[in-house]
Structure 1
């Protein structure tokens, strides 16, 4: 594996659920040589900051509450300092956010919607100019798919589109943003009952991988950025054997060189390593590794791509792994205590 910043040390930011005893947004120093994290401080200015995003020298955090919010933070202080008050997103329980086209986007799980909030000159989100795109539909699961549940929204590699992954409707929507307004350009149906949760693109930009939560599988899709169309190709298991109960896969990461893909599965407390063929069209399960804790909600790569991090929500820790350059398999290297940890991002 290769990374563009292999010798770089910097900062990591860890989200956590304040309602479950988490400290909020945690700042940590990253040692790029061994992947270790040293906790430096925390801010509880945003409620339940379950997901974070970094951009233009600022940090953004969702507030995964009934009245969902986004808060911008300065990162030149320790702990991070909020810029203004949390901005309401007009949706319930935002679980993910990303930056795109001068806006911050949120996926609102509870209300089944996606929000675009324009960013002011100082980088803070403007709730007064927000646009909310409401999903419609349902799926066959009697408890989890009675209505839409947007779980992730992110721009595609070309920057032309945003894709929103909806667990409740078994679909991925390709969206356009025009004059601050979101519209659905195309909707791709996935297998009924699969419960798509998160998506990651191949570095070539020609393929995307959808991790399903209601079944422990990965759907490999072809991505046509010119047409703005996602096409399902194959579905492969992310577990070597049948799960003991509900598996609840959570997050997916693709290596920058396109050779490997990793997923986390909460019900089994494992990280799965999959190999990708040179084109990115075929994914093969190689191995599973204990996540080092309980309920891995998030996976992320260090900027060097030499270390992988699991945010283990229920055991309250972040574990890091050294990645084998030939096999892609992770070996546990250390951990830090963060109650109700939910995600890790890097500046």
Structure 2
């Protein structure tokens, strides 16, 4: 059930970052959010903090925090712990990327380091946290591997308890010369972890135990059409369906998920935007609305979001809308926890654009708000 929307007056003033509104006072209904960025070769100072105004969706800038090199992808634990993928190929003199953890001040969003560990492979592009809050799951794009790292109650990270390297290739010689793990998430039962591999056109399925061991499931993977390039995954809130964004062929996969057996059944493969075909375009991110009624996916190059309605009985998708992201090269995006606003990280225009969501139709409308952030990659709201 939605919480009541506060009716206080929103006081806008030109202060701080252009495009961000200065808030008259803090309200308990406002959410904190953190933005991961690329720091190498950019003007970025790390992870950027904002507070979202509950009425307008506007963002108040709270400043950046140094979170190590290329703190690109972020994950949040229920208690506010922030886990960061440092997307590099060398760390601490080793041929590996890194994962960092930070305690988050619930009032200011300030970050306190809780340690940094090897990611178990090069170029970690994705990190998530299992539902127990005790395991960080990492997809190492460059290393073609997935890893699990233990998280202590105080937020400190341990060394990887499990590293699994994928094998194989795909027909796209430029992008699929070898394995490229791109996403890994725990299923709602927390008994399984599912990972995409862009290089091998597979969704891998692992048994996940409480100690953080990843072991191949009895049916260890589902194959996608050659050249699909699976990238990101999103579960439906009802847990029965899993959705997939394929980066290279610009399609969405709909699957029925059996949490008892740890198996996927493909139901549908549909274009993100009908008629959209170009080697210059690549799919990026995918999310399901909190209501479970709509799905959103971004396309870089076309710089758009595809909106799809979800059939509540079958999980199948029906295309609704294509809308410009009002920026270039949209990476990750996020729906605020109530599903009223959608925020897009446009990497090449160094900004976040804000859209209002019609929760009855799923359609998006640009609010005109544009928030400057250097090379934004990932947006995460407070729990």
> Do structure 1's residue 184 and structure 2's residue 216 form an aligned pair?
yes
> Do structure 1's residue 289 and structure 2's residue 323 form an aligned pair?
yes
2:13 is matched with none
Q: Kindly indicate whether the alpha-carbon contact (under 8 Å) linking 2:290 and 2:337 is maintained by their aligned counterparts in 1.
A: no
Structure 1 residues 5 and 262, CA gap change in structure 2 (3 angstroms): farther
- Mapped partners of 2:126, 2:67: distance in 1: 18
1:220 is matched with 254
- Mapped partners of 2:3, 2:299: distance in 1: 28
Structure 1 residues 4 and 194, CA gap change in structure 2 (3 angstroms): farther
Residue deviations 1:50-83 (CA, integer Å, cap 9, x gap): 1101112211110000031111112117563342
- Mapped partners of 2:374, 2:2: distance in 1: 30
Deviates more, 1:15-24 or 1:60-69: 15-24
> Do structure 1's residue 346 and structure 2's residue 377 form an aligned pair?
no
Shift of 1:30: 1.1
- Mapped partners of 1:64, 1:342: distance in 2: 11
1:319 is matched with 353
1:106 is matched with 138
TM-score computed with the length of structure 1 as normaliser:
0.95
Shift of 1:287: 1.2
1:19 is matched with 40
- Mapped partners of 1:209, 1:24: distance in 2: 30
1:206 is matched with 240
- Mapped partners of 1:5, 1:243: distance in 2: 43
Structure 2: which 5+ residue stretches go unaligned?
7-28, 90-95
Q: Which residues of 2 match residues 185-334 of structure 1 at below 5 A? A: 185=217, 186-333=220-367, 334=369
> Do structure 1's residue 93 and structure 2's residue 144 form an aligned pair?
no
1:118 is matched with 150
Structure 1 residues 316 and 5, CA gap change in structure 2 (3 angstroms): farther
TM-score computed with the length of structure 2 as normaliser:
0.86
2:15 is matched with none
Deviates more, 1:278-287 or 1:14-23: 278-287
Which residue among 34, 38, 59 is the counterpart of 2:56? 34
Q: Kindly indicate whether the alpha-carbon contact (under 8 Å) linking 1:108 and 1:150 is maintained by their aligned counterparts in 2.
A: yes
- Mapped partners of 2:113, 2:362: distance in 1: 39
Q: SS state of the match for residue 71, structure 2?
A: coil
Residue deviations 1:88-110 (CA, integer Å, cap 9, x gap): 11211111111124111110000
Shift of 1:44: 2.1
Q: Which residues of 2 match residues 135-154 of structure 1 at below 5 A? A: 135-154=166-185
Q: SS state of the match for residue 293, structure 1?
A: coil
Q: Kindly indicate whether the alpha-carbon contact (under 8 Å) linking 2:102 and 2:155 is maintained by their aligned counterparts in 1.
A: no
Q: SS state of the match for residue 40, structure 2?
A: helix
Larger radius of gyration: 2
- Mapped partners of 2:362, 2:230: distance in 1: 24
